[in-house]
Amino acid sequence: MAHQRYHHLHLHLLLLLLLRVLTLSPFFLQLSKLVAAENNNLIAIVCHVAEVPESCIQCLKSDPHSEIADEVGIAIILMNCLTDHIDALENNMSKIAAVSKDKSTVNLFQNCSKDYATARKYLNSAITSLKSGKYDAAETSVTLALKFDTDCHFKIVSFKKKISHKIAFEIKLFEDLCQAANRIIERL
């Protein structure tokens, strides 16, 4: 009899706990909506610095974790987008060098390809620094990655070499996303 009473009491407590959880569910749903709204606002603030804020927002929204990410998480998502862009730029520079018949053009684009490979190392370093809370080091790494990009861009313009609009857009987008990344890192 005592065992049965204990069982009923235990069942009653479980039902009360379940009822409590169910009544709090709307609260948690609202809380998650508030966090998502706050992150959307954070994303808008971060991407405002970019000349192409739509691309910055698109980068961040392409990662499903951006809705729950904190500022460090958003910075890391930007780093991942930057790494994707730098890989594309490195490959494009390498392809231009491979099809060119002019020795100076080959050298220029091979050097740019190497510069982008080095820039990728700096972006990877930035991600590591972000994860370990070394925000100044992360910002420095992003700035160095951007320097390799701008050096390559300057050389292409100086030597009056033609690149496709797509590659020019990739270069500009990379620069804008670096600025946005540094802006959020500065906030950390």
For residue 55, being part of any structural domain is answered with yes
* 162 burial type by CB count under 10 A (0-12 exposed, 13-18 middle, 19+ buried): exposed
Task: Tell me which range, 4-18, 43-57, 59-73, 126-140, is most confidently predicted by mean pLDDT.
Answer: 126-140
| 95 in a structural domain | yes
140, part of any domain: yes
What CATH number corresponds to the domain at position 107? 1.20.140.40
For residue 132, is it within any domain? yes
Alpha-carbon torsion angle 54, 143, 167, 102, nearest 10: 170
Domain-embedded: residue 153: yes
For residue 2, being part of any structural domain is answered with no
- Please give the Cα distance from 26 to 166 (Å, whole number): 47
Q: Kindly state whether residue 172 falls inside one of the protein's structural domains.
A: yes
Counting the structural domains of the chain, the total is 1
Indicate if the pLDDT at residue 7 is higher than 70.
no
Give the DSSP letter string of 175-188. Answer: HHHHHHHHHHHHH-
Residue 24 maps to a domain: yes
Q: Mind listing the pLDDT tens digit for each residue in 149-166?
A: 999 999 998 888 788 888
Q: What is the mean pLDDT of the chain?
A: 81
| Whole-structure pTM value | 0.75
pLDDT (tens digit per residue) in 40-78 = 677 777 787 767 788 888 888 899 888 888 889 989 999
Average pLDDT over every residue of 9-34: 46
Domain that includes residue 88, residue range: 8-187
